[in-house]
Chain A
Amino acid sequence: MSPTPEELEFFAGQEELEIMPRFDCPTMWLISGDLGPFKAGIPNKVPLWIALHLRAQNKCKIIPPPWLSKAYLEQLKELEIKSPLFTKMPSEHYMAMAKMIFEVCPQDIPDADCVKLLIKDIWDSRMSKLRTAVLTFIDKGASWAKVDNLTQLEMCSIRPFFTHSLEQLHRFRKTIQVARLYSAGNSSEEVRRRLRM
């Protein structure tokens, strides 16, 4: 089964993020790994979901990942628009991470409005590229496509349209061979025997 956007957001929550704690706390031993120790004013890496949880309670400040900045994204946008193929994104979960951080603390991101817009532009540009690619693929009856650097969330946008269409087309094409044997006047037994060969 293919993951839903909500599930992918959950996965994105496992990505590491740097925070600037506003509290002191010794190491916590959790099932998923050790956390801390935290010391106010000393940056530390934690999973995104914990970072946002702490941030919501005002216990830390988020240090945005280097790619979540105006300068970086402007460059990335340029590359994406120029390239006929998909550009490599700084994170598999770039969209979900950006969305989650913006939900909780846009004030921690410099040039927040601009950054938000750039992310959206990059997403939109990739979406339209993907759409064109999918339609060309179906139209040409192609059997393979190069989709390097596509993120899982982006694939959500073409599923199940793409997969289901192809499955049905494949099912139809398989019937042609059978039909040809029947048209040639073969009996059911003969057809079955030939298909086994």
Chain B
Amino acid sequence: MSGMYGEIALELIKELDRHKGKLPPFQENELRQALDEMQILFEQNQRDVSMNIPGNPEFLAALHLRHAALERNKQCILAYLYTRLKVITDLRWDHGPVIPAEVRANMTEQEVQFFANYNKTLANYMGSLGENHGLDLTQDLKPPKTLMVEIRVLQDYGEFELEDGTSVLLKKDSVHFLPMSQCEALVQQKIVEVVQKQKSLHQK
């Protein structure tokens, strides 16, 4: 083994740190290599212990160091997986129940499964609120001021069907007057923006 232990596992952490709050491609290879290193460290320590090197401190150092390296690798790997899951749960609140394709491409099968489970748990919980009438917690993240709101379309979206069955065509730069509750998801996904109409107390 060349260089210091734990270098590959650290790469995982550095990669996440470079993409703060985003989800870079899952580093299958590096993860595998870090696990291999752990396997080797474990076997070396097993061997040294079974050789029963009598309390000789000269041999103890390597034993301690390898053990610390095992713990270090484990911490890096768990932190890597955990941080990714945190980003994935945030996705649910930022993008709704469907993961954008480009993010989906960077996820493992297990992560997709985790997202589906998280989705289900959240849906169950939201459905159980308000005496089983359900309450969508991802709506009205800011206190609503009005029922209807003027929005401007930021990117072409196409037909958008409203709860009453009518539909509007959301074309870039077009302006619409819609029920706040129904276009909030679009606002969060940055497909439309709310038009500020009121003049202000602090305009400079």
Partners in one complex: yes
Interface class of chain B by DSSP: loop
Q: Which bucket holds chain A's interface residue count?
A: 10 to 19
Chain A neighbourhood of B199, CB < 8 A: 103
Measured between alpha carbons, how far is A10 from B146 in the docked complex, in Å? 12
Shortest CB-to-CB span from A108 to chain B, Å, is: 15
Measured between alpha carbons, how far is A119 from B202 in the docked complex, in Å? 10
The 8 Å CB contact of B202, one of A4, A6, A7, A120, is A120
Interface class of chain A by DSSP: helix
Q: Is B133 an interface residue (CB 8 A)?
A: no
A10 and B201 form a contact (CB under 8 A): no
Shortest CB-to-CB span from B131 to chain A, Å, is: 14
The 8 Å CB contact of A6, one of B143, B200, B201, is B143
A99 and B143 form a contact (CB under 8 A): no
The 8 Å CB contact of A9, one of B143, B200, B201, B202, is B143
Q: Considering only CB atoms, which chain B residue lies closest to A6 in the complex?
A: B142
Shortest CB-to-CB span from B181 to chain A, Å, is: 16
A119 and B201 form a contact (CB under 8 A): yes
Q: Is B56 an interface residue (CB 8 A)?
A: no
Chain A, residues 1-18, CB within 8 Å of chain B (1/0): the string is 000101101100000000
Measured between alpha carbons, how far is A119 from B143 in the docked complex, in Å? 24
Q: Is A116 an interface residue (CB 8 A)?
A: yes
B142 and A4 form a contact (CB under 8 A): yes
